[in-house]
Homo-oligomer: A and B are copies of this chain.
Amino acid sequence: MKTVFIGMCGHSMQAYKVLKNRCDASICGIAPGSVHEGMTKSFDPAIPYFASWSEMLDATQPDLAIVSPVFGLTGSIVIACAERGIDVFCEKPIAGTLAELERVEAAVKASGIHFGAMHYLRVSPAFWQGARMVQDGAIGDVRLLNAQKSYRFGTRPDWYRDRDLFTGIIPWVGIHAIDWIYAFAGKKFLSVNASCEGTPERTALCRFDLEGGTMASVTLDYYRPEIAPTHDDDRIRCVGTEGILEVRDGMIHLMNRDGVRTIAPDPAPELFTCFLEGNDLLSPDELFYLTRVALLARESADTQATVAIEN
């Protein structure tokens, strides 16, 4: 399987590490996704470097492209790959606008390519196991969820100030929390009301109504102090009719009729390895849906209006 890398802005290093350890794959090229990326050569001398990703695709004729450019360019490159019949594993969000998302979905479906995206936090071990526990009934019917992502801002590229290139804190960061809510609740989103603030965007707060009267919030910030013990502070709190399950500090905290427990999660599957082996942990339809929800949440923040989510 011939693989290329387009951009290294997001989490494609995780895919690189997997590919380096597989004897059924070769990495035959790497190219920046855009002039914004400052990538002047391959980080691995064994991989041929191309200044233009489209020329690289022509020259290498790959089976699979790992697409992780400046975030706002992902969708257009996914479409180009789909049109060439190249399988894609790309960074989230898979599109930067709702119109582009429609084009991505159409291109992926028309081409029949194998399509996956780096929703890596779905398989963050405590979240992966916690969602399964909730779906297996550990807390009864889910009524209320609060998901949180908090990051250090540290040093970020200038293009984080440009909505077209960054996409925004809700599509870039919040989509993980939206993903958790979907995985834990197992319910569709009906509407969203959100705010987001800062240039670059530093905070956001989204309120969702889900099916069956279930409600959820997503809290996002880039204000985690440098001194904090970890880069991120990922959490979810999930209130059900029969108990409460929380993920915090990488552990699962469960209260239900069986008692009060803190559970260290088992290792979770590796998302990209599963993709390579044809075991998609998130289907393309799920990716289209979660991206649409995130983009509608951003639209709510931009328009200061509640936005309905069609299902």
The answer to the question of A243 belonging to the interface, with a C-beta cut-off of 8 Å to chain B, is: yes
Nearest B residue to A221, CB-CB: B239
A31-50 CB mask vs B (1 if < 8 Å, else 0) is 00000000000000000000
Contact of A256 among B150, B213, B225 (CB under 8 A): B225
Measured between C-beta atoms, what is the minimum distance from A230 to chain B in Å? 11
Q: Which of A211-228 contact B (CB under 8 A)?
A: 213-217, 219, 221, 223-225, 227-228
Q: How far is the CA of A239 from the CA of B224 in the complex (A)?
A: 8
Interface residue count on the A side (C-beta < 8 Å): 45
> Are A215 and B207 in touch, CB under 8 angstroms?
no
- What is the minimal beta-carbon distance from A145 to any residue of chain B, in angstroms? 9
How far is it, in angstroms, between the C-alpha of A150 and the C-alpha of B214 when the chains are bound? 16
Bound CA span A213–B197, Å: 6
Contact across chains for A243 and B225 when beta carbons are under 8 A apart: yes
Least CB separation from A217: chain B residue: B217
> For the complex, is A170 an interface residue (Cβ under 8 Å from B)?
no
Quick one: CB contact mask for A252-265 with B, threshold 8 Å, 1 for yes? 00011101100000
| Chain B residues within an 8 Å CB radius of A195 | 207, 209, 213, 215
In contact, A227 and B197 (Cβ under 8 angstroms): no
Give chain B nearest CB distance to A269 CB in angstroms: 30
> Which B residues touch A198, using CB under 8 A?
213
Which of B144, B217, B227, B305 is close to A207, meaning CB atoms less than 8 Å apart? B217
* Cβ contacts A to B, 22 pairs, < 8 Å: A143-B223, A144-B205, A146-B146, A146-B148, A146-B217, A193-B207, A195-B207, A195-B209, A205-B216, A205-B217, A217-B219, A225-B242, A225-B256, A227-B256, A227-B259, A227-B260, A228-B244, A228-B255, A228-B260, A229-B260, A304-B306, A306-B306
